[in-house]
Structure 1
């Protein structure tokens, strides 16, 4: 293997530093030529997913990442001009790596680890040691518009990862996550040239996929664009008996005049996972068992997870004056979920488990809207970019469940099937009706934000100051009776301060203070058999406070960045029979990243993240100084792609992912072993006649078929997620 599991942080940091310094000398001798923008009459056509005048940020050298991305209310900005850490992964990368979901794309990011929701198959992304639920992934800057459990990559032009707290920039995430980062997906738009692409892929397990991507521009100045993406995927995954059935359709529209830009998206996704391999809950009485065969499946044959989503979004900008722009955006999503799940709990070190049946149905109706103004002016030698915005979000959730009291036995090494527990059998707990789920939650958020970015010394020094006042409301209703059982309505102001200093055109130094905001908890009625004085009362929203300094390098063909950060998150628990925010978790870390062309025909992408996630104040001090659950101290992702000079059209690639050990409980008596995974692939372009291009791609993930526990489910959780087995994917696409 290229890297061993005991890889030391110092060795990796030294290697990355050497690559960066070597590339600096190489890049300083090269120059880049920006792609020419096509001009049609008096209108510049530059298709933009976010309906901005600037359009999409241009790709960086190598095409795998972009030069910038969306920075919340500030809109699209060059990465060198922002006092934050972010990366925008392009559709070129998504295609070349044959990514099927957002999680596949984020395998390139060392600050991110993939996990799973509690008891289901919802994708969870751990950014800087804190979770970002798939509920809280934004679509073109709007929360809540995407499918909750799985997001097909075919919808996506770019995957933007923002690292760090971000409540001022994006508003508080309605799902209650995002303290360590944010993920925004940009939809596809029609390019200047007509596009007709058809694709076919096959993978281990017999899964077949067929897709199409069609785009056209219309009008005298090609000011109207339409893009259609469709995919049908069905078959196995490489995990025994696990099957996927996916149908997804997306339509992207855009129109622009000299002063007005509009875009809209309509999406539909129908996704079913049959006999999906579940998470495993360990017992606190013994060590974490050895991971079973990565190809094995201990799911019950009657389990499944289904989700159907329909969503639509709109975004528009109008230039009121040459220096003042107004924007508005909105969206709506309808979602239906139906699940029959059975997640095993380990009962001994031999891998024996006990499970029950859990069924649930859920319906969501989500609406969101925002509006804002962005203007520029000068006061003497100081430039100002002022932004003001308001937004609102609403989610009505309807839920129902059925739980079997009787358990059944199996084993993660030698799984056995059990009979399906019928709902009319004894010992069932039921909440609402599975066929018609009842209203359980009404969630509303609203906020207003104001900021000013001051530019000094010919834009070589940028100072950003701002604040957002956020209100979070939630009404909860009892199962079966629909009686209101809780009401939450709290507000808090979240500030931001950022500084960028550019001593040269190649170097950008930055610092920031920014906060994350999530809903406070509700005090339990009793604790340890005693009544809680403030039982049932809702706590105020709490802030995660972040401080960060960093540096960015842009050598034209090669880029790199380094960041040092610390984020403090409050912890709530009962003390002296009163529930409150008494504790703290503090995540401190170092991030290194590299991207671009290290040499002609050689592209690098990846980085190293070192994190110390400590429980600094815990109940009665019992876990003070111990590591937080599910946060590895070292995360390495490094990939390379090189063009084979002797074979025209052939490119080879490889990627190494290394994750150090992580603890599965707060007392740090249980741990998951470190793991290293190797992926490899190839791409070959050839002519298909009539000037058409046929692209062949092949990829093997987990090349050595390593069996390992990939994560503990999510930061703060302790359920085990087994890594995927060796998976071969072969695809062909042709552009007509």
Structure 2
């Protein structure tokens, strides 16, 4: 936001608060009657539509289970949490990561070498490259996704090869993240929001929607947002511009929808990750200190679009098809912090410039239907998907031209010229193709209803073809062993027993899939190409729904293959594994009228097994704590109509920053608080929101790792304030 608009945002929020107080003073004896605002989500090219919100409005009753479609939580053998738009707005979340910091089972991390959001689910990394939009991968901006672009955030925990197919980057072995598009609700929507907070930033957004035609058959929803200014970290700046249009149309048998969206995001002097380059201890610096070099930046621009259609062939069979595309451009000038002495904080940085262009095209089509064979019901699905991406990249990395600095007392340097000894790949002014990904899959599934529909048995399989090609940065030729083309069929089995209306028990076996390795040069079997690696998950659990309060318990074991013997003269083999075993306990809904709860805790034993290396055998996986969790409560204050207060405690145990478990990173905990107040001003519904995150201003490491095998660390944000107002008119 331009500098002149920042005080406008602050003044608008404060003026609305003042006007509301004045209005109450005029008639303190009477309680204003607010007009009823009904916002019900319409179906997005789907007869299933959005899963309804659970009482309390923070999460939904279910979510999308891949090709199985939208499932009720009590009737699916998988673990799904879907965060509603109401929750996103009330927590003033600005990105997917800001939403998922509330999730007790997700650790929010950062991509390797940049500011890309990444997420630990059941101890495995999911990068934002592998985030899905309405079931299609990699359509959203790959580093930072503003909340104006989506309605809900859905987290599907566990392996998902059958449900969603292999991810483009090969991550997502512990779960998947799906974003749902915004569609026009049944009632007209006119909402303008303003916000300001720590660092003097300003944020303004608009959300406008209408339905037209007979029975409101045509809908349009327009979202736009602009943010500019600082953060709670010294000298850190961010500017984001976002706009999207969502359209939908339906008649009795056909439903169509589409989106077009654009986001430009600019980070300036954003605090980088810290890599322990010889440090034997890892203290957390002051949460507000910024050790980023003033000449660093990261800019991304993305344009995306989707089309989706659904046709009821008859009362029992429905066909669907979808397409999505994205075109993205990135440019970065980075300087990661390398810590050499944990006691003194001494370290160094060096200049790293990078440009990247992405072209993504993806789609799916399928049939789903219902039938009965005697007393057995069937909900079957057949689907095919295709993903294609082309990545262009170029870089210059001046590793030998280092600038000394300090973690606790940063030393800022002028922009260093390249020394002439830098490592370079490609042309920064015209990057060439460096990677292509082609994924093709075919899936078949059936959910059988048995014993008067109290037992649900899901059977399925997906055949996946994985073809990736890596090219030399400078010559454009295919790298040695850079062409990988393998396939695998991934089965799935799930069962649900609906014990009664309140309890369901479930179990599943499902696999994850990622491409295999290629034996490196110098090994006895150099250049050998391995078959895709198969991750195997077993899970059992209980789900509870008391009407207004829900809970879940899941016990799972996931095993991911590893490779060993990569040294010169050794034989490179697929041997060993990461074994993640854990327990997840969740609670959500209304404990009593006016008290809403959302949270849980997970215990996770993530170890390296059969590694062939005594230094890593039986050691914990990088970045994964044994325990983490969160609990949030929102309370309607008695005697003060339409005022709600909320608090959230988030905590995690210690982690390791290296595979040998010699660098231990301490655990952490933080408290966030907020308030929300609804009132009527001049006949308009106004919602005031205020938040303080990291109330105690704790200094801590928010994450360790975020890319397999890497132990870089990210400092948690300091105490930050935000004040906002939204007007519905």
Q: TM-score, normalised by structure 2?
A: 0.93
Q: Note the residue ranges of structure 1 that are not aligned, 5 or more in a row.
A: 1-34, 39-44, 526-530
Q: 1:273 to 1:285 in 2, by over 3 A?
A: closer
Give the C-alpha shift of residue 36 in structure 1.
Answer: 14
Contact 2:657–2:705 (CA under 8 A) maintained in structure 1: no
CA distance in 1, matches of 2:285, 2:312: 59
CA distance in 1, matches of 2:170, 2:592: 43
Select which of 292, 300, 303 maps to 1:299. Answer: 292
1:87 maps to what in 2? 81
1:701 maps to what in 2? 693
Q: Does 1:588 align with 2:581?
A: yes
2:407 maps to what in 1? 412
Q: Does 1:75 align with 2:64?
A: no
CA distance in 2, matches of 1:637, 1:442: 39
Q: 1:590 to 1:147 in 2, by over 3 A?
A: same
2:647 maps to what in 1? 654
User: Residue by residue, what CA displacement relative to the aligned partner does 1:450-486 show, whole Å, maximum 9, x if unpaired?
Assistant: 0111101221100011100101111111011111111
Give the C-alpha shift of residue 717 in structure 1.
Answer: 2.1
Contact 2:279–2:339 (CA under 8 A) maintained in structure 1: no
Contact 1:68–1:79 (CA under 8 A) maintained in structure 2: yes
Give the C-alpha shift of residue 285 in structure 1.
Answer: 5.0
Classify the secondary structure of the residue corresponding to 2:527: coil
User: Residue by residue, what CA displacement relative to the aligned partner does 1:331-370 show, whole Å, maximum 9, x if unpaired?
Assistant: 1100000000000111113111121100000000000010
Classify the secondary structure of the residue corresponding to 1:281: strand
Give the C-alpha shift of residue 220 in structure 1.
Answer: 1.7
User: Residue by residue, what CA displacement relative to the aligned partner does 1:259-310 show, whole Å, maximum 9, x if unpaired?
Assistant: 111111111000000001000101345122x211100100000000000000
User: Residue by residue, what CA displacement relative to the aligned partner does 1:483-541 show, whole Å, maximum 9, x if unpaired?
Assistant: 1111110101111000000110111100000000011122210xxxxx21232333221
Select which of 495, 499, 510 maps to 1:499. Answer: 495
2:214 maps to what in 1? 220
Classify the secondary structure of the residue corresponding to 1:626: coil
Q: How does 1:43-192 map to 2 (within 5 A)?
A: 47-49=42-44, 51-192=45-186
Q: Does 1:364 align with 2:365?
A: no
Contact 2:487–2:532 (CA under 8 A) maintained in structure 1: yes
Give the C-alpha shift of residue 713 in structure 1.
Answer: 2.6
Classify the secondary structure of the residue corresponding to 1:540: coil
1:13 maps to what in 2? none
Q: How does 1:68-467 map to 2 (within 5 A)?
A: 68-284=62-278, 286-288=280-282, 290-349=283-342, 350-404=344-398, 405-423=400-418, 425-467=419-461
Contact 1:279–1:713 (CA under 8 A) maintained in structure 2: no
Q: 1:37 to 1:318 in 2, by over 3 A?
A: farther
1:711 maps to what in 2? 703
Contact 2:291–2:406 (CA under 8 A) maintained in structure 1: yes
Q: Between 193-202 and 473-482, report the one with greater CA deviation.
A: 473-482
Q: Does 1:558 align with 2:552?
A: no
Classify the secondary structure of the residue corresponding to 1:221: helix
1:732 maps to what in 2? 725
CA distance in 2, matches of 1:243, 1:538: 45
CA distance in 2, matches of 1:323, 1:278: 54
Give the C-alpha shift of residue 37 in structure 1.
Answer: 11
1:538 maps to what in 2? 529
CA distance in 1, matches of 2:109, 2:279: 24
Give the C-alpha shift of residue 176 in structure 1.
Answer: 1.2
Give the C-alpha shift of residue 428 in structure 1.
Answer: 2.3
Q: 1:37 to 1:347 in 2, by over 3 A?
A: closer
CA distance in 2, matches of 1:689, 1:729: 25
User: Residue by residue, what CA displacement relative to the aligned partner does 1:592-648 show, whole Å, maximum 9, x if unpaired?
Assistant: 000000000000000000000011111334322111111000111100001012111
Give the aligned length: 687
Give the C-alpha shift of residue 419 in structure 1.
Answer: 2.0
Classify the secondary structure of the residue corresponding to 2:483: strand
Give the C-alpha shift of residue 156 in structure 1.
Answer: 1.4
Q: Note the residue ranges of structure 2 that are not aligned, 5 or more in a row.
A: 1-35
User: Residue by residue, what CA displacement relative to the aligned partner does 1:517-573 show, whole Å, maximum 9, x if unpaired?
Assistant: 011122210xxxxx2123233322101100000000011100000000000001112
RMSD over aligned CA atoms reads 1.4
2:15 maps to what in 1? none
CA distance in 2, matches of 1:507, 1:716: 40
Contact 1:588–1:611 (CA under 8 A) maintained in structure 2: yes
Contact 1:630–1:716 (CA under 8 A) maintained in structure 2: no
Contact 1:605–1:640 (CA under 8 A) maintained in structure 2: yes
Contact 2:41–2:183 (CA under 8 A) maintained in structure 1: no
Select which of 676, 680, 683 maps to 1:687. Answer: 680
CA distance in 1, matches of 2:278, 2:422: 27
Q: 1:46 to 1:361 in 2, by over 3 A?
A: closer
Q: 1:37 to 1:470 in 2, by over 3 A?
A: farther
Contact 2:278–2:341 (CA under 8 A) maintained in structure 1: no
CA distance in 2, matches of 1:484, 1:571: 26
Q: 1:317 to 1:175 in 2, by over 3 A?
A: same
Q: How does 1:469-484 map to 2 (within 5 A)?
A: 469-484=463-478
Q: Does 1:610 align with 2:636?
A: no
Contact 2:38–2:187 (CA under 8 A) maintained in structure 1: no
Contact 2:596–2:634 (CA under 8 A) maintained in structure 1: yes
Q: Does 1:547 align with 2:538?
A: yes
Contact 1:394–1:443 (CA under 8 A) maintained in structure 2: yes
Q: 1:319 to 1:46 in 2, by over 3 A?
A: farther
Give the C-alpha shift of residue 46 in structure 1.
Answer: 5.9
Select which of 500, 506, 509 maps to 1:513. Answer: 509
Contact 2:271–2:290 (CA under 8 A) maintained in structure 1: yes
